[in-house]
Amino acid sequence: MNFISAAAWTANPPRASRTPARVSPFDAASALFAAAALTAATWSATMEQSAEPHAESTAQSSAPIAKLAPPGAEWMFAGYGGVPYTYPSDVKLTKTGTHDFTAKQVDWEGKPFVNPIYYGARIVRFGNGRTGTMLDFTHSKTIARLEKEIEFAGTLNGAPAPARATLRDIFRRLEASHGHNMLTLNGLFRLPSLGLRLQPYVGVGAGVSLPHAEVQMANSDKRTYEYQVAGPVGQALLGLEVRTRRVSYFFEYKFTLAPYVMPLSEQDGSWLPLDLTRQFRNWLSGTEPPGGYASTSLVSHQGIFGLGIRSAPIAAAP
């Protein structure tokens, strides 16, 4: 989420046309994993459904079919889509001797069905008990509503910031449209089952925010356009799993909290590992980012639906 470059503010800045979004290898790889999980789960579910009538007719004339196993020790590989809502938040920009201002209550758009879409992928492991673990990756988006008029406070380009201004007058771009990305490790707990097919669960986890920061001031040719480690992220979730013989469908609510502190490098990045390596080297050397720092806290509600393939065996026939 590129949040701000160092450049002067003018009352009537030029409006640059939006450049087409580039698809990075990280975007492509994570989206491919989620799509593969969804495709495999859909195929498996289709095979189950097509096999059931034959299995039932065979069971009537010979041995009974195997029953659905209760939740137990298993792995699950899953992909999901969803819809996020992110609360408005203050965005603060600091650059020594130039900027120290706050844009108050910036509105964020998620645009979950606009490319790159909202998606996620996860790997889940349960033992024989009720507790499990989950590695969860979520690709959401936060795009500032630049047409909104909001309040400002502090200093901008060494002078008092305007009391009120349209966000577009200050920023040409302020978003994380290649990802308000969150990678978390979660603990899960299975609640009492509602029958063999319905399994509610809860979870809580923490991890790291890996946004693609896209920030540019209204009157500057320089921009920050790269993946970053922006800080920690926490999430809590409540879900319902609908279990078939090998496939699970899940409906889930997630609450996430992600405080961001982003160095404004004024550079175009390339690949996530390279961007993070450069950020780490600059941090070790104490190099100050030329655009200063941008910070905010993103608090989001997310509703998701997904499919997963389980490794657990089907219960044996009686």
Q: Which pLDDT tens digit goes with each residue over 58-108?
A: 444 444 555 777 788 899 999 999 999 999 999 999 998 888 999 999 999
**pLDDT (0 to 100) of residue 120:** 97
Least confident segment among 43-47, 144-148, 312-316? 43-47
Cross-strand pairs, 154: 101
CB count in 10 Å sphere of residue 49: 11
Q: What are the pLDDT digits (tens) for 124-148?
A: 999 989 999 999 999 999 999 999 9
- Contact 164/152 with Cβ under 8 angstroms? yes
| pLDDT at position 5 over 90 | no
**pLDDT (0 to 100) of residue 34:** 59
**pLDDT (0 to 100) of residue 260:** 94
% of the chain beyond a pLDDT of 70: 77
Q: What are the pLDDT digits (tens) for 109-119?
A: 999 999 989 99
Going from N- to C-terminal start, the domains of the chain cover 72-310
Least confident segment among 27-31, 36-40, 42-46, 297-301? 42-46
| 76 or 196, higher pLDDT | 76
| pLDDT at position 22 over 70 | no
Q: How far apart are CA 134 and CA 131, in angstroms?
A: 10
Least confident segment among 171-175, 186-190, 251-255, 309-313? 309-313
Q: How far apart are CA 147 and CA 214, in angstroms?
A: 17
- Contact 310/71 with Cβ under 8 angstroms? no
CB count in 10 Å sphere of residue 284: 8
The mean pLDDT value for 37-43 works out to 54
| 58 or 271, higher pLDDT | 271
| DSSP state at residue 103 | E
| pLDDT at position 57 over 90 | no
Q: What is the pTM of this model?
A: 0.80
**pLDDT (0 to 100) of residue 209:** 96
Which of 241, 240, 248, 238 is CA-nearest to residue 302?
238
- Contact 54/273 with Cβ under 8 angstroms? no
- Contact 314/71 with Cβ under 8 angstroms? no
Q: How far apart are CA 58 and CA 63, in angstroms?
A: 7
The residue written with tokens 């009492």 in the block is: 192
Query: What rounded mean pLDDT belongs to the chain?
Result: 84
Q: How far apart are CA 229 and CA 210, in angstroms?
A: 5
- Which residues have C-beta within 8 Å of that of residue 57, sequence separation ≥ 6? none
Could you tell me the two tokens for 300? 């989001």
**pLDDT (0 to 100) of residue 140:** 96
List the CATH code of the domain at 72-310: 2.40.160.20
Q: How far apart are CA 251 and CA 274, in angstroms?
A: 35
Cross-strand pairs, 151: 164
% of the chain beyond a pLDDT of 90: 65
Residue 126 phi/psi, 5-degree rounding, is -115, 145
Instruction: With cut-offs at 50, 70 and 90, classify the pLDDT of residue 26.
Output: low
